[in-house]
Amino acid sequence: MADKVIAGITVNVNAEGYFEDPSQWNKEMAIEMAREYDIELTDKHFEILKYLREKYLAGEQLTIRKVGNSGITDIKGLYQLFPGGPLKISSRLAGIPKPASCI
């Protein structure tokens, strides 16, 4: 566990940069973290981040299949929004832990 200043606020993140406490997250932090991946966050991105946060806080296991069936985007769209790690990067930007799923 480490402290990191994101968008002017100190938050707790783990060694890989995932939030320890999802309640510390806000949208500005997502925008700042997204720059590390050269992603400019759009409304579509935020819809996904919101969906991930809701599902995570409801205790559901997240998979790309689930996000693909969410009605927000399909799986191809998800890869285009978060290139190189559709579930991993989106989870980090959503301020939730790294997904512990193989699918």
Partner 1 sequence: MATKEEYPLKKVCIICAKGTIEDVYAALIMANGAVMEGIEAKLFFTFFGLDAITIKQMNKLHTGTVGNPALRMPGGLPFPTLLGMLPGVEAGVSFMMKSQMEKLDVPPVKEFLEMIVAGGGEIYACKMAADMFKIEKEDLTEEVIDIITVGQFYEMAGGQGTQIIFI
DSSP structural state of residue 20: S
The one segment of 6-14, 18-26, 38-46, 58-66 that binds partner 1 by CB under 8 A: 58-66
Asked about 23 being catalytic, the answer comes back as: no
Alpha helices in 1-103 (DSSP H): 27-35, 43-57, 64-68, 75-81, 86-93
The residues with which 21 forms a beta bridge, in sequence order, are none
Judged by CB under 8 A, the chain residues 73 through 92 that form the site for partner 1 are: 74-76, 79, 83-88
Residue 54 interacts with partner 1 (CB under 8 A)? no
Q: What are the two backbone dihedrals, phi and then psi, of residue 72, each rounded to the nearest 5 degrees? A: -80, -45
Stretch that binds partner 1, among 14-22, 25-33, 42-50, 59-67 (CB under 8 A): 59-67
Which positions are annotated as active-site residues?
102
